[in-house]
């Protein structure tokens, strides 16, 4: 099981998904003030000059956890390569959905939620502040792209194993 290259790719994908909980997804710069957006909301540090969001993005956390579980299941399905490829395809769909939600919706919505907490009742000011904000994607937001690549490499390894087994069955 561990000597197969796809196991290493799947393990790397799980490690990256777990590391997503610890690295920032984005950093918003508003008038010289940093607001850090993480997968898990952190309590503000008194000594820090940065602000953190108050609420965690539940959709992203759920999708990331589903991806971790599916990928771990895929690692242990090494005896049934056809089922392993099906579970891997579903994990691939989950990580693509995670990536789309993260980049197309969640980061902008996260900034709006953060500003709504600090500027209650000032919707016009919130909209103008969002327009002037500079968004810098963090390391954690790029892990999902690396996870997609790991899944593609793992799928290629599983296909090679399946092809090898089928060719050896033809020789019998």
Terminal alpha carbon distance of the chain: 24
Q: Give me the half-sphere count of Cα atoms (radius 13 Å) on the Cβ side of residue 31.
A: 3
Domains of the chain by start residue, with CATH: 5-171 (1.20.140)
pLDDT on residue 53: 62
Give percent above pLDDT 70 in the chain: 72
pLDDT band per the 50, 70, 90 thresholds, residue 93: very high
Distance between CA atoms of 17 and 69, rounded to whole angstroms?
10
* pLDDT tens, position by position, 35-65: 777 888 766 555 555 555 666 788 889 999 9
**Phi, psi torsion values for 94, nearest 5 degrees:** -65, -45
Are 168 and 44 within 8 A, CB to CB? no
Residues 6+ apart with CB under 8 A from 74: 10, 84, 87, 88, 91, 154
* pLDDT tens, position by position, 71-91: 999 999 888 888 999 999 999
């Amino acid at each position: 099981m561990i000597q197969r290259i796809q196991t290493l790719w799947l393990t790397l994908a799980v490690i990256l998904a777990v590391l997503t909980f610890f690295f920032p997804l984005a950093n918003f710069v508003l008038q010289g003030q940093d607001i850090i957006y993480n997968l898990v909301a952190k309590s503000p540090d008194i000594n820090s000059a940065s602000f953190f969001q108050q609420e965690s993005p539940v959709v992203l956390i759920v999708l990331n956890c589903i991806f971790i579980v599916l990928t771990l299941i895929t690692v242990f399905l090494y005896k049934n390569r056809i089922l392993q490829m099906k579970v891997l395809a579903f994990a691939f769909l989950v990580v693509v959905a995670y990536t789309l939600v993260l980049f197309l919706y969640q980061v902008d919505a996260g900034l709006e939620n953060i500003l709504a907490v600090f500027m209650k009742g000032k919707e016009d000011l919130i909209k103008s502040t969002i327009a002037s904000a500079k968004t810098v994607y963090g390391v954690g937001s790029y892990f999902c792209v690396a996870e997609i690549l790991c899944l593609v490499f793992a799928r290629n390894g599983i296909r090679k194993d399946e092809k090898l087994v089928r060719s050896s069955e033809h020789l019998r």
